[in-house]
Amino acid sequence: MLDTIDRKLLAALQKQGRMSNAELSEQVNLSPSACHRRVQRLETDGYIRNYVALLDARKLGVPTTVFVEITLQGQADEVLDAFEKSVARIPAVLECHLMAGSADYLLKVVAEDTEDFARIHRQYLARLPGVGQMQSSFALRTVCKTTALPVER
């Protein structure tokens, strides 16, 4: 079970994962050794899965975000498994979610522009197994975006 200090540690690390243990311990009012032990426990217990660098999509030349709703032709396990294995191999797909609602899957795809998305669609998305229907929506502007989960309640 997480206590208040654990939640503060997780919140701080989500905002700046590269801060030193000394900076982190100061921020949550713990001694450096106690802070280090708690972070290690949070890692061991699986609350912290990994540390990553968040990259700038615009600087990397993939500023276009497209959300793709996919409805499969059937719901058999083999169809779902084949689709999921194939979609996981597409480099431009950042996220794929099995959905409840009108579509079976929702994909988050990045591209250079509309022409690049058309290439991704032709080369990858149109070849996904079991697809019955596909609808793409281009994000015009990102209003808010975070990777931080709400840990402080």
Interval 97-115 mean pLDDT = 97
The CATH 3.30.70.920 domain(s) of the chain lie at: 64-138
Fold annotation for 64-138: Alpha-Beta Plaits (3.30.70)
In one-letter notation, the amino acid at residue 97 is H
Q: pLDDT per residue over 36-50, tens digit each?
A: 999 999 999 999 999
Is 4-44 a CATH 1.10.10.10 domain? Answer: yes
Q: Could you tell me which residues come within 8 angstroms of residue 114 by beta carbon, excluding any fewer than 6 positions away?
A: 64, 138
The CATH 1.10.10.10 domain(s) of the chain lie at: 4-44
Residue by residue, what is the 3-state secondary structure of 65-114? EEEEEEEECCCCHHHHHHHHHHHCCCCCEEEEEECCCCCCEEEEEEECCH
pLDDT at residue 152 greater than cutoff 90: no
